[in-house]
């Protein structure tokens, strides 16, 4: 006999969830706690209002509702914001909810287990999600605000504030575990001439295009920062000297060959790059200074080239 697996995806706006809560008898009690459903909803709502951290919020929600509903795994995803969270081991039977509030998508929440969810159980899940949607929206907005505070508003890459904390962390990890770490300092050649000849709006356009060209050249594990003005820093975790030089050269070539059309003007842009690789026990300041010194040699050596510390 073949068992048909339960798999359902539902779109729920917040009013729908509120309606679900009204359809559940408030005098009914949960099997697990013997407490009125309304009391459990209030208790969970209060627990979720204690944090704006998204992961902590989802962990709290999972911890609270497992007292009321039996399931094997819970998963949350928000693809536009690149968020994936899962706890437990996935099972064949699935109930997935696409959460929407005031026309805004909050992502998808999935529950799985080895046996089918009954109608009363899915109704209970939908009621309990009433306590999640507003705290979830607040946590998503808070996470987005934190991310934006670490982004350069012009180019969209990470800013200097993000660079300072990230470099410190990565240098400490590389020294602790003995893994290679490299740094690339990049400066757009003759950028003052671009501003003087074409104006600052065109200069901004060129900076955005250069950042885009660099981003398209690096790997997913690499991180690029705008240090200031026309200078960028690229952090290469677990990358030795040969790998760093190869990547720096690829970035240089991509910037040189890209077409820059800004405000109807065709701009020629190149970049000079300096590479430094972390020595054993070296600190952030020393590594950064050596990358900057290598960049100075690249500019003194004719620009549009790569030099290593």
Q: What is the DSSP letter of 100?
A: E
Residues above pLDDT 70, as percent of the chain: 88
pLDDT(7) > 80 = no
Same domain? For 130 and 172 the reply is no
Q: Of the given ranges (6-20, 127-141, 224-238), which has the lowest mean pLDDT?
A: 6-20
**Residue 6: what pLDDT?**
62
**CATH number of the domain encompassing residue 100:** 3.30.450.40
Q: Are residues 173 and 186 in the same domain?
A: yes
Which helix or strand (DSSP H or E) is residue 10 part of?
strand 7-13
pLDDT class for 263, splitting at 50, 70, 90? Answer: confident
What pLDDT, on a 0 to 100 scale, did the predictor assign at position 5?
61
Q: Which residues are catalytic?
A: 230
Q: How far apart are CA 150 and CA 124, in angstroms?
A: 40
* 181 and 111, same domain (yes or no): no
Residue 37, pLDDT > 70, answer no
> Cα(123)–Cα(145) distance, rounded to whole angstroms?
34
User: Strand 104-113 and strand 93-101: pairing?
Assistant: antiparallel
Task: Look at residues 148, 175, 196 and tell me which one is the last residue of a structural domain.
Answer: 148
CATH number at residue 156: 3.30.70.270
Q: Indicate the angle between helix axes 191-198 and 200-215, nearest 10 degrees.
A: 140
Please tell me the total count of domains within the chain: 2
Structural domain of residue 140, as residue ranges? 7-148
pLDDT surpasses 70 at 28:
no
**pTM of this prediction exceeds 0.95:** no
Between CA 157 and CA 222 the distance in angstroms is 12
Domain for residue 35, yes or no?
yes
pLDDT in tens, 160-211: 999 999 999 999 999 999 999 999 999 999 999 999 999 999 999 999 999 9
CB atoms < 10 A from the CB of 174, how many?
19
Whether residue 30 sits in one domain with residue 12: yes
Are 253 and 200 within one domain?
A: yes
Q: Which of 96, 118, 148 is the last residue of a domain?
A: 148
Query: Distance (Å, rounded) from C-alpha 112 to C-alpha 95?
Result: 6
Note whether 181 and 237 are within 8 A (CB): yes
In whole angstroms, what is the distance from residue 259 CA to residue 266 CA? 7
- pLDDT bucket at 13, cuts 50 / 70 / 90: low
User: Strand pairing of 265-267 and 260-262?
Assistant: antiparallel
- Does 57 reside within a domain? yes
- Taking only the tens place, the pLDDT of each residue in 102-121 is 888 999 999 999 999 988 88
Mean pLDDT over residues 245-274, rounded?
94
Same domain, 129 and 83: yes
Q: Residues 252, 130: one domain?
A: no
What average pLDDT score do residues 240-265 get?
94
Q: Which of 148, 175, 210 is the C-terminal boundary of a domain?
A: 148
Cα–Cα distance measured from residue 169 to residue 167, given in angstroms and rounded to the nearest whole number: 5
Cα first-last separation, the chain = 69
Check whether residue 139 and residue 279 sit in a common domain: no
Residue 2 lies in a domain: no
Task: Go through the chain and tell me how many residues it has.
Answer: 309
């Amino acid at each position: 006999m073949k068992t048909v697996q339960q798999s359902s995806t539902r779109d729920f706006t917040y009013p729908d969830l509120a309606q679900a809560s009204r359809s559940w008898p408030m005098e009914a009690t949960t099997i697990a706690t013997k407490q009125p459903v309304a009391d459990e909803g209030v208790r969970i709502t209060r627990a979720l209002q204690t944090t704006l951290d998204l992961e902590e919020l989802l962990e709290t929600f999972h911890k609270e509702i497992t007292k009321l509903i039996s399931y094997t795994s819970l998963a949350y995803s928000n693809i536009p914001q690149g968020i994936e969270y899962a706890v437990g081991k996935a099972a064949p039977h699935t109930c997935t909810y696409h959460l929407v509030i005031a026309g805004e998508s909050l992502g998808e929440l999935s529950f799985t287990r080895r046996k089918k969810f009954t109608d009363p159980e899915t109704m209970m899940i939908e009621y309990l999600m009433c306590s999640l949607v507003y705290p979830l929206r607040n946590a998503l907005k808070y996470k987005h605000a934190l991310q934006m505070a670490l982004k350069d508003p012009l180019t969209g890459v990470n800013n200097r504030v993000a660079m300072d904390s990230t470099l410190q962390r990565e240098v400490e990890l590389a020294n602790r575990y003995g893994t290679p770490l490299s740094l690339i300092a990049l400066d757009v050649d003759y950028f003052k001439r671009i501003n003087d000849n074409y104006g600052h709006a065109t200069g901004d356009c060129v900076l955005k295009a250069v950042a885009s060209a660099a981003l398209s050249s690096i790997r997913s594990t690499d991180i690029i920062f705008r240090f200031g003005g026309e200078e960028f820093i690229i952090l290469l975790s677990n990358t030795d000297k040969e790998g760093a030089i190869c990547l720096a050269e690829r970035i240089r070539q991509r910037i040189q060959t890209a077409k820059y059309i800004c405000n109807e003007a065709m701009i020629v842009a190149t970049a000079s790059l300096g590479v430094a690789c972390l020595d054993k026990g070296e600190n952030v300041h020393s590594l950064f200074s050596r990358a900057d010194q290598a960049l100075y040699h690249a500019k003194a050596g004719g620009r549009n080239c790569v030099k290593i510390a």
